[in-house]
Amino acid sequence: MSYQVVHFINGRSVSDHSRIQAIYNPATGDVIGHVAMADKTTVENAIATAKAAFPAWAATPPLRRARIFFQYKTLLEKHLDELARLVTQEHGKTLSDARGSVQRGIELVDFVCGMPNLLKGSYAENVATDVDCYSIRQPLGVCVGITPFNFPAMIPLWMFPMAIAAGNTFVLKPSERDPSCAIRLAELAKEAGLPDGVLNVVQGDKEVVDVLLRHPDVKTISFVGSTHIAESVYHTGTAHGKRVQAFGGAKNHGVVMPDADIEQVVDAIVGAAYGSAGERCMAISVAVAVGDNVADALIKKLIPRVQQLKIGPGTQPDVEMGPLVSQQHWERVRSYIDLGVNEGASLVVDGRAFKPKGHEKGFYMGGSLFDNVTSAMRIYKEEIFGPV
């Protein structure tokens, strides 16, 4: 059954008459819903709501704020399986991976339950003649989080609980590819006792982000996504006087020494490179073998393991890797594999044609493995963000 995901502003669902975008189940390739893409008025409404809620929330004692997060943690744990199913349904992760990501988000909520202690300042006497020095921690105002598609529960939970427990209010802009989880997180926060307007969620794309980056009432921005967009977010946000932290892509290396246990190394690489279909910035996408003998042994052991990866819908219990998030992303990863072949690397395992039986319309990519890669190649230098 198709559903529609809207915005969450001032403690309630808000719809507008702007654009909509399809939500896909990556495992089947089917449209399962639609998400409303906020217009400028809706985004400004969310910011104004957060600004209006800020004075009372900032004046709330940290201990009372922390009590709400104790309750929030309990609700998240109660609804962990529900949240994991939402992640798998719209992103494609295996259920075990989805559960793990939600749990890592809950761990941050657990951490912010200690916010009364974390907010303590400091005091020093006689730092100079007749001079004492003290520091205090004060909330800034409206904070913004712009989060990616690959961890639709974990990364929002790494952002807004910290900001809100410190006395700020928040506007969250999740990925439009898997937007439902953010709404459920906000609903559970309200159920835990968070006052209306403290946490707001707006759906959308670049049009929404542009408003958030430039709006004078937004004080700080946290972003996770591709390097190109991270650079744009950082420069635009700081140019408009905001504090910005922008996390981009990565190309992570694993170095395999001559005395390494190759069986153990292969186990680690398969999990680190192909887990979550490689759609994570901490994926180990490059293995640097020290010496030809090590490289030959590593490739010999890796090839059958990559070929034997169990790939299918994330809801199946024995699956090790689900689909990619979208057809567009599948095509991007495919283009990098094509590029590696053209650059002269040896494609020893080719996952481009993989389609699990009965799920041919899904966005599946088999594990792929290159050998003889040089540091001059783009597949070495650029983040592929797939099972390569």
Model confidence pLDDT, tens digit, residues 54-108: 999 999 999 999 999 999 999 999 999 999 999 999 999 999 999 999 999 999 9
What are the tens digits of pLDDT across the range 197-238? 999 999 999 999 999 999 999 999 999 999 999 999 999 999
Q: Indicate the pLDDT class of residue 368, thresholds 50, 70 and 90.
A: very high
pLDDT of residue 18: 76
Query: 103 Cβ partners below 8 Å, 6+ apart?
Result: 80
pLDDT of residue 218: 98
Q: Is residue 8 part of a domain?
A: yes
Q: Which residue is associated with the tokens 């600004």?
A: 51
Q: Tell me, what amino acid is at 189?
A: A
Q: Distance of CA 212 to CAs 13, 98, 180, 277, Å?
A: 20, 29, 20, 31
CATH of the domain at 123: 3.40.605.10
Number of domains in the chain: 2
Whether the Cβ atoms of residue 325 and residue 178 lie closer than 8 Å to each other? yes
pLDDT of residue 244: 98
Residues 194 and 273 in one domain: no
Q: How many Å apart are CA 15 and CA 256, to the nearest integer?
A: 53
Residues 128 and 82 in one domain: yes
Residue 44 has pLDDT above 90, yes or no: yes
Residue 8 has pLDDT above 90, yes or no: yes
Q: Which residue is associated with the tokens 């090590």?
A: 294
CATH of the domain at 305: 3.40.309.10
Q: Indicate the pLDDT class of residue 143, thresholds 50, 70 and 90.
A: very high
Quick one: tokens of 210?
């542009």
Residues 227 and 268 in one domain: no
Q: Compute how many other C-beta atoms are within 10 angstroms of the C-beta atom of residue 316.
A: 15
Residues 185 and 290 in one domain: no
Quick one: tokens of 5?
């995901």
Residue 1 has pLDDT above 80, yes or no: no
Q: How high does pLDDT run on average in the chain?
A: 97
Nearest to 180 by CA among 149, 205, 206: 149
% of the chain at pLDDT higher than 90? 99
Quick one: tokens of 9?
């502003």
- 3-class SS at 319? coil
Residues noted as catalytic: 281
Q: Indicate the pLDDT class of residue 16, thresholds 50, 70 and 90.
A: confident
- Beta bridge partners, 199, equal 170
Residues 228 and 343 in one domain: no
Q: How many Å apart are CA 289 and CA 120, to the nearest integer?
A: 47
Q: Is residue 386 part of a domain?
A: no
What are the tens digits of pLDDT across the range 254-279? 999 999 999 999 999 999 999 999 99
Q: Is residue 123 part of a domain?
A: yes
Q: Is residue 279 part of a domain?
A: yes
Which residue segment(s) compose the domain that 278 sits in? 252-381
- Does an H or E element contain 9, and which? strand 7-9
